[in-house]
Amino acid sequence: MQKEIEITLSPEQIEQTEIINQKLAEALNLSESRIKGFEILKRSIDARSRKVIYRLQIKVFIDENQIPKVYIVNYQNVSNAKPVLIIGAGPAGLFAALQCIENGLKPIIIERGKDVKQRRRDLAAINKEGLINTESNYCYGEGGAGTYSDGKLYTRSNKRGDINKVLQVFVSHGAEQDILVDARPHIGTNKLPQIITSIKDTILNAGGEVMFDCQMTDILIEFGTIKGIQINFKDTLLADDIILATGHSARDIYELLSKKNILIEAKPFALGVRIEHPQEIIDTAQYHCDTRSEFLPPAYYSLVEQVGTRGVFSFCMCPGGIIAPCATGENEIVVNGWSPSKRNNPYANSGTVVQVTLDDIQGYDPLRMLNFQSEIEKLAFEAGGGNLVAPAQRMMDFVNNKLSIDLPKNSYLPGTKSVMLDNILPEFVSESLKAALPLFGKKIRGYYTNEAILVGVESRTSSPVRIPRDKETFQHPQVKGLYPCAEGAGYAGGIVSAAIDGINCANAILKAL
């Protein structure tokens, strides 16, 4: 017999199996001897009261042995199968490739960047020397932006596909089992590269192909139907189906589509800054304590405020994290955040952004939101003075229109420069942030402080362009065989939702066949 129940534990009890068994027996009014095993289905921290607890949803095995679950997919060999071109080796592209193999199709991944190992050198040059390789950086390369930007797996996309399948694939390629049960699963930037490499190896072992340093420079179309692509302005690959999973920063792809009169649309996005606090401030407020218990992870927060007609919200919060330089082109500043698996850095950072609507940027050009985004990033670069030094300001100084005399220590390795962020951010973004930050301080004690630094700019929250597709076939309405996919096309917002969209596109190709 099996039963599902919820129990609560103190942080000190969370790893103690004997206590869990006792709690289960008490809750079910059984002797402990009848409990033959249990499976944690979901685990979350409840810090709403002064006493912080864990809530566990558990499946209990009563009078029957627990049979361990094993997730195994026997990927068939597709070396000689029908090819599908997948543009981009991010989570959408990789999971699309795995699903193609399951469906008996041969995936050929075309990735403009480098593999995981070679990317590390380019990231080191970005952080230490402020040098950008426009084809290999935090966004471009094996695993996409997710590989070196945290590995957060939290998503609300449960209606789009099988979240558990995505998590199981990560576990089967080396991720910790904890991601299957944690309410906010997280892998960590230090562990993701090996997992991504393992997924690539699965694709190669099944007869798929992965081509690095290969930029798609043209799409070959005849009579509204895909025929193939051009790579690096010279080589040609022929195929009937293309999954376009290039991510939200591949601006040349949007420009290519526009040039070829393939329909694209301007899309709203969000713009702001990355805000960093000492982690202990967030811990103290969220856990109602002077010092965080060793049995609790660094604290997380999520904030949202309506300022007039505009939403202001935290985004991609990184406990124990680092602010990273994520520009993909020269003379631009873009910041993002990530955390290692232990989240053991002394700072907590989060994107804090303001909605930018189509009405804010008037016109008919489908690239107008992208061009606006680019202009802000160039202003940030100029304000920083070069070498990826980022413009920054203390929080209360920003709200009070005061230039910061100095800046607090922070995690952004290329360095920060004190500026008036009002000179970079559009007025509607600045004013919305200034109204929201003191209100956030009322929700989290200690949040509104001059110990916090605002680093600009957080601009790649989502794609500023949407590539339209049919809701049923997933194909572009003008081009048969072209499958716009995931974040770059405007249909996902994170690793898991991108992976699900990649799976859905691969399944749509099979259905069309």
Tell me the pLDDT band of 151, cut-offs 50, 70 and 90: low
- Alpha carbon distance 210, 114 (integer Å): 11
Cis peptide before 457 (omega within 30 of 0): yes
pLDDT at 150 over 70: no
Phi and psi, residue 412, nearest 5°: -80, 105
Q: Express as a percent the part of the chain with pLDDT over 70.
A: 99
- Alpha carbon distance 193, 83 (integer Å): 26
Average pLDDT over all residues of the chain: 94
The contacts of residue 255 (CB under 8 Å, 6+ apart) are: 367
Structure tokens at 413: 């390795």
The 3-state secondary structure of 422-482, one letter per residue: HHCCCHHHHHHHHHHHHHHHHHCCCCCCCCCEEEEEECCCCCCEECCCCCCCCCCCCCECE
DSSP 334: -
> Residue 75: helix, strand or coil by DSSP?
coil
Q: Is there a contact between 189 and 153 (Cβ–Cβ < 8 Å)?
A: no
Residue 131 β-bridge partners: none
Burial of 417 (0-12, 13-18, 19+ CB in 10 A): middle
243-282 in b/e form (b: 16+ CB < 10 A) is bbbbbbbbbbbbebbbeeebebebbbbbbbbbbbbbbbbb
The pTM of this model reads: 0.95
Render pLDDT for 373-393 as a digit per residue (tens, 0 to 9).
999 999 999 999 999 999 999
For range 358-365, the mean pLDDT: 94
Q: What is the pLDDT of residue 67?
A: 83
Burial of 359 (0-12, 13-18, 19+ CB in 10 A): exposed
Phi and psi, residue 396, nearest 5°: -70, -30
